[in-house]
Amino acid sequence: MDQLQQIKQRIDRLRSALDEHNHRYYVLSQPSVSDFEYDQLMQELINLETRYPEFFDENSPSQRIGSDITKDFQQVVHKNPMLSLANTYSLEELKEFETRAKKIVNEPYEYICELKYDGVSISLSYRNGLLIRAVTRGDGEKGDDVTANVKTIKSIPLKLRGNDYPDEFEIRGEILLPHEGFQKMNEERISRDEPLFANPRNAASGTLKMQNSSLVAKRPLDCLFYSITGNTLPYQQHFENLMKAKDWGFKITQHIKKCRSIDEVLGFVNEWEEKRKSLPFDIDGIVVKINSFDQQSRLGYTAKSPRWATAYKFKAEQVLTRLLSVDFQVGRTGAITPVANLEPVLLGGTTVKRASLHNADQIALLDIRINDLVYIEKGGEIIPKVVGVDKGKRDFHSKPLEYITHCPECGTKLIRLEGEAKHYCPNESGCPPQIKGRLIHFVSRKAMDIGLAEATVAQLYDHDLIKNVADFYSLRKEQLISLERFAEKSAENLIASIENSKKVPFHRVLYALGIRYVGETVAKTLAVEFGSIDAIENATVEKLISVDEIGERIAESINSYFADHENTDCIKRLKEHGLQFQINKAVQKGTTLSGKSLIISGVFSQHSREEIKEIIEQNGGKNVSSVSGNTDFLVAGKNIGPGKLEKAHKYGIPIISEEELLDMIREKKGS
């Protein structure tokens, strides 16, 4: 094969890979590589196409901007294109940005330095002080009309303040998901056994594309603004217009700086490369703009980006280490997760020995092989992940990694459901990790709250004492004492804990069953709507979908669960043991705490933490996971966390005891 053929093959591979990345990022909102890796691939393609014009292709990824347009929303053409910014990755490239600009406008500049938010770009149109339309970036020329969803974001003004705003203008910003809200959303997805959002940007993007705006309203999205366009703006400078927009009610970050020289710009960049971790949301760089509209106009645009602005991108922290082997883990739903075993390496202050490989597609895309030197990245991710391979140091005799075809635990042939990236083991009733996973989920604190560690559950299973969740209620003290680490007292405690779990309310029992996609929130919704397990079992898919927050996927999963005789036989046994399979009509929801947000901390004498949370919810209150200025009460027990106590004092939040909470409820009910 001659050199030209090799170059043509490389160009074709780059185009194919970039097309795949575009689809995952813009269409599926499931990015598979970091921005840095994507930009490096794109730059390599552009360089090759420039050097070898005979291989030009008008459909090459280099000729267009990726699109996030879906068919579910009306498409709207932007009055002014939403162009992307040119990216720089070094301080030297920032200086080159100044050098290029001075060739066109040789006079002093004012630079405006802003944080580059890692979220979803949005363009809002206002007329006579009212929000009339919200459109996503899309392909830069046109985007999706998501006005109904955007109106649910509380930081976005629907009606402007004052009376000195233009009759008509557009303002652009970034829709974000702050860290606290992102963590809470992922905790909820864990409880529903759903795939976790990889990062806040992915979660924000997925939320903005939801069809039900009432569901969007329940997610803690925020929006920060960075640009205004219009014919009658009050100033001819970017910075001054942004500051004026604050008066109209827009959320403009305080972390914006006017700089007189490129050295001041470099200082701002260096400052935020260190400080970015202190922010409540993610940023991935710094945007540098020339302030004057006149100078912007003279500098103009390239086909894809303005010449008067650039983005300095922070590189996510990466390290290089060797891939020793790959494990294939089986979850309680049968999902197969490949995990890389690595030579231990320090990353972000912790020693990393294992990292996610995501799925078969990602392994093939990166062409990962055993003994490769691989790049590990944390960035904004939940766990470390493998993001690249140093192929220049690869062993010549290495072979592509073959993804398993059968379950590593039970040998069953794996399946891959349409539209899903993961492989699954379909042997739900005979695959040990799946069975153990369901047993562990059943006894967990938020489910039946039976005092059993994961290792003990595995021990009971391995000794054939439990095979499904109903078997817990047939355990006898004599069986337990015969096991290692079980004394008479510990056996009695476990039997008592199992007996006490029969008082757990219906919605938690429903959650404990481990029906796929039925997490805590969905279980509560189903319990309130149907009232009993029998009503849920007899409900059609159509009836289930008619319930708010229950989509087709959840409904079909519930329907499939009750179609399995092993599941219905298990529920029959649980009923015979006395578990709660209908709402206790005696528990009436009060309104004593209506509209109040409470956080609990410490150990309590009269009730468990979960019981106190239920008491709060039964009386109209909302349980929150962290202290903020919006928290109404801190319910404090013994050994309260010092951090929460300090924040409560800082915000002036009333601190009440368990008894004071109960008295508050009793007094209100008695009045």
Alpha-carbon span 434 to 423, nearest angstrom: 14
* Paired strand residues for 323: 342
> What is the strand order of the sheet 130-136 is part of?
130-136, 120-127, 168-176, 222-229
Residue type, 646: E
CA distance 466 to 486: 16
For residue 255, what are its two tokens? Answer: 């972390």
Give the end-to-end CA distance of the chain in Å, rounded to a whole number: 90
DSSP one-letter string for 503-557: GS-HHHHHHHTT-TT--HHHHHHHHHHH-BHHHHHH--HHHHHTSTT--HHHHHH
466 three-state secondary structure: coil
Q: 3-state secondary structure string, 163-225?
A: CCCCCEEEEEEEEECCHHHHHHHHHHHHHCCCCCCCCHHHHHHHHHCCCCHHHHCCCCCEEEE
> What tokens does 652 get?
């002036």
- On whether the CB atoms of residues 367 and 389 are closer than 8 A, the answer is yes
Beta strand 318-330 pairing with 336-347: antiparallel
Instruction: Check if the beta carbon of residue 475 is closer than 8 Å to that of residue 466.
Output: yes
Cβ burial, residue 178 (10 Å; 0-12/13-18/19+): middle
Give dist(CA 509, CA 498) in Å, integer.
13
> In the Cβ-directed half-sphere of 527, how many Cα atoms lie within 13 Å?
21
Distance CA 478, CA 572 (A): 25
Distance CA 515, CA 187 (A): 17
Active-site residues, by number, are 116
d(CA 485, CA 502): 25
- Pairing state of beta strands 622-623 and 597-601? parallel
